[in-house]
Amino acid sequence: MSSHKIIIAIDGYSSCGKSTLAKELGKKLGYNYIDSGAMYRAITLYFLRNHIDYTNPVAVLDAIANINLGFVFNEQLERSDIELNGEDVEPYIRDMIVSEKVSEVAAIREVRAFAVAQQKRMGRKKGIVMDGRDIGTTVFPDAELKIFMTADPDVRVMRRFQEMYATNPQITIDEVRHNLELRDYIDSTREESPLHRADDAILLDNSNLTKEEQLEIVLEWVKDRATNPRVTQ
Ligand code: CDP
């Protein structure tokens, strides 16, 4: 049976390795990988830089009208970097100052409508892997493969701490833990598209899996879904 291009939606809590898996899948399958969290982070960076009062919906709509987001492939690092109005902002969007505000910004209805509309357009041709919080529930409810990732909270904190420590040796484990707990709480309890597992998403707990092991498992799922398409009603 021939295989065809599908949409892979990966959702889950903060720092459970969604982006790592999604990036590797994209590379292996020749699919476009989109980090939807980078879009919310870039919007947050714009709001912070321009002192936008994001509690005011009019100010939010005005600001959004001036935001252009895009992805460019960074050959050297083999990843897609996000551009905010033509500037590669990848070096700034993972700073703690952005992480502290991003979940509040991502909870705003107008912000989500803006980001989700772009994300849906990106999936028109299939052959895409996107990770985030609402990809299987809102952005691509008909995705052929949906994965809900989770990992032990302590494992997640240590992974993110090591990542951040590389560029910011001042960072503490407590700061990282507090930020992950806060974001998970806001993301799961917000009114607009809260983070939750879609009924048809496969649960992947990677607390005790290496990157290679998780990739191998998921590639089997992809093979299955790409050769045995589900009948959509
Ligand atoms: O890398 P990490 O899992 O820590 O977060 P991220 O994917 O960079 O996303 C940052 C934040 O953006 C999340 O905590 C959510 O508040 C928001 N987000 C969202 O609301 N919906 C998405 N599809 C992706 C991210």
Give residue-wise pLDDT tens across range 63-80.
999 999 999 988 887 788
pTM of the model: 0.95
Instruction: Compute the distance between CA of residue 115 and CA of residue 69 in angstroms, rounded to an integer.
Output: 9
| Bridging pattern class, strands 69-74 and 87-88 | unpaired
Give a yes or no: residue 2 inside a domain: no
Give a yes or no: residue 231 inside a domain: no
Give a yes or no: residue 146 inside a domain: yes
Quickly state the pLDDT bin for 1 (edges 50, 70, 90): very low
Token pair in block for residue 81:
């970097």
CA separation, residue 203 to residues 142, 145, 150, 151, 214 (Å): 17, 11, 8, 10, 12
Give the CATH number for residue 146.
3.40.50.300
Given ligand 1 and candidates 39, 105, 116, 133, which is best to mutate, with the most ligand atoms within 8 Å of its CB? 133
Residues 6+ away with beta carbon under 8 Å from 136: 9, 10, 11, 143, 146, 147, 148, 198, 200, 201
Give a yes or no: residue 60 inside a domain: yes
Give a yes or no: residue 189 inside a domain: yes
**Does residue 3 register a pLDDT over 90?**
no
Residues 6+ away with beta carbon under 8 Å from 165: 171
Give a yes or no: residue 168 inside a domain: yes
| Nearest CA owner, ligand 1 atom 25 | 37
**Does residue 233 register a pLDDT over 50?**
no
State the pLDDT at residue 73. 85
User: Could you tell me what percent of the chain has a pLDDT over 70?
Assistant: 97
Give a yes or no: residue 164 inside a domain: yes
Give a yes or no: residue 230 inside a domain: no
| Nearest CA owner, ligand 1 atom 23 | 132
**Is ligand 1 within 6 A of the CB of residue 37?**
yes
The structural domain count of the chain equals 1
Instruction: Compute the distance between CA of residue 21 and CA of residue 224 in angstroms, rounded to an integer.
Output: 18
Structural contact between residues 196 and 136, judged by C-beta atoms closer than 8 angstroms: no
| Bridging pattern class, strands 128-132 and 32-35 | parallel
Distance 152 CA to ligand 1 centre (A): 18
Given ligand 1 and candidates 14, 118, 150, which is best to mutate, with the most ligand atoms within 8 Å of its CB? 14
Instruction: Domain of residue 50: give its range.
Output: 7-224
Structural contact between residues 6 and 145, judged by C-beta atoms closer than 8 angstroms: yes
